[in-house]
Amino acid sequence: MNFISALILVSALSATISMAVASSTADPKSCSTSAATGGAGAHVPIGKDGEGLYTASTKGCFDVIATATPLVLDEIKKQPLRPFGVGSPAYHIADYGTADAGTSLGLLSKMVEAVRERAGDDKEVVVHYEDQLTNEWQSVFNHALGIKSVSDAYGNPIPNPYALENVFVEACGVGFHKQCYPSNSIDMGVSFTAMHWLSRFPSSMKGSEYMHAARCPELPIPEKEQAAADWTSILKARAKELVPGGRFVCVNFSKNSDGYFLGQTDVGASMWDSFQSSWDQLKEQGLIEEEERLGVSFPNYYRTKEEFLAGIEGDEEISSTLKVVSIEERVVRCPYRELYTSGKSGKSPREYAEWMVPTTKTWSHSTFKSGLKSERSEEEKEEIMNQFWENYMSLVEKKPEDHGMDYVHAYIVFEKIE
């Protein structure tokens, strides 16, 4: 008989994402023109809830998390642990911006084992999965409870922390821009490729060909200011939630000191150039109008190392409660391209395109779709989007070794001051 226990508590107190639609007045020659706050384009999961399409299509995240794993486990070894016994707490882990919860399972399993190496095999552990209200919560529980198995890009099965017994599972739909858990309750927080999403959307790139703030010759002030305000809110919330001596390991998309960012590094073609040419092709095919061609503005922001540090150094409330243990920039190569170029994938150029492109689709589809006119029917929008992704796959098929999605992150470790 299996005595594994699970407490499933879905807290959907509020949605942090404003879905108000705003018009843009952006100058098509510049990204610095201010636009109204708001704007469609929030990240909306694709696929049927319960299928776990994000984890199945986003294999690079496993490598990103694997790169962070030594950092996380080292902090568990060093941090003070609250005693366990009658009336004393379990060890609480929060996974912020978890998506469908599949990519972090292996790390969470190692975290449970690391805690028990110090505190004993009977130490109870609570895993709190956090994301936005509209997240794929059925997929979260399918993964978290071991109903749906997971493997990485190389076919390796990923262990599940729930199988370790005395691991409890909870979920929260408040959104990481706000405080999600009671003060002094979280021992270790982790977040991977999530906190670049903004809580409000200036949409400054509408009317331009840049699509994303990172591509702009001059940083768009509205996005930059919103990202700074969001980062302050994020750090204040985590500072309250962590127990004294608790840790928060944040692995977030960034624009590094070489100017690299997601999909645009020193290897291969720029993913963003490929996006743009594939989207422009829709107009050449007579499927979209000029306003729609220039209607895409991603509601996220890749902070620099300096911007990450400014969030803690420039706020007395944060700097008095959190300290930066370490921060470093890292590039993780696209596993799809690495496997293809090494000859280990066994795929034809077309098969590679159909395998790789979905890893760019899981997080961008809804933003591109929001650039289409609202009067179009849902069916018409999806037909256009299908053609967009076909355009991209056809581009990749021509020279597959040039195409991939390298990950560029800042790996930051925070400690709550005792």
pLDDT at 61 > cutoff 70: yes
pLDDT bucket at 31, cuts 50 / 70 / 90? low
pLDDT at residue 3, rounded to an integer: 35
- Please name which of 194, 182, 384 lies closest in space to residue 282, comparing C-alpha atoms: 384
Q: Which residues contact 190 (CB under 8 A, 6 or more apart)?
A: 68, 72, 93, 94, 95, 96, 104, 107, 248, 249, 250, 251
CA-to-CA distance for 141 and 418, rounded, in angstroms?
34
Q: What backbone phi and psi angles, to 5 degrees, belong to 160?
A: -115, 130
CA geometry: angle at 154 spanning 106 and 363, to 5°? 70
Kindly report the average pLDDT of the chain as a whole number: 88
pLDDT at residue 184, rounded to an integer: 94
pLDDT in tens, 215-232: 999 999 999 999 999 999
pLDDT at residue 84, rounded to an integer: 67
C-alpha Rg value of the chain to the nearest Å: 21
pLDDT in tens, 83-102: 766 566 899 999 999 999 99
- The H or E element that residue 55 is part of is helix 53-57
- Residue range 37-44: average pLDDT? 45
pLDDT at 235 > cutoff 70: yes
Sign, Cα dihedral of 18, 23, 24, 28: positive
pLDDT at residue 42, rounded to an integer: 58
pLDDT at 6 > cutoff 60: no
pLDDT bucket at 49, cuts 50 / 70 / 90? confident
Q: Which residue has the tokens 């034809």?
A: 348
pLDDT at 308 > cutoff 80: yes
- Residue range 249-265: average pLDDT? 98
pLDDT at 246 > cutoff 80: yes
pLDDT bucket at 52, cuts 50 / 70 / 90? low
CA-to-CA distance for 110 and 270, rounded, in angstroms?
35
CB burial readout 223-255, b (16+ within 10 A) else e: bbebbbebbbbbbbbbbbbbbeebbbbbbbbbb
DSSP string, 306-317: HHHHHHHHT-HH
CA geometry: angle at 176 spanning 171 and 181, to 5°? 55
- Please name which of 53, 58, 364, 374 lies closest in space to residue 197, comparing C-alpha atoms: 364
Q: Can you read off the two tokens belonging to residue 4? A: 């594994």
The pTM of this model reads 0.88
Can you tell me whether residue 386 is helix, strand or coil? helix
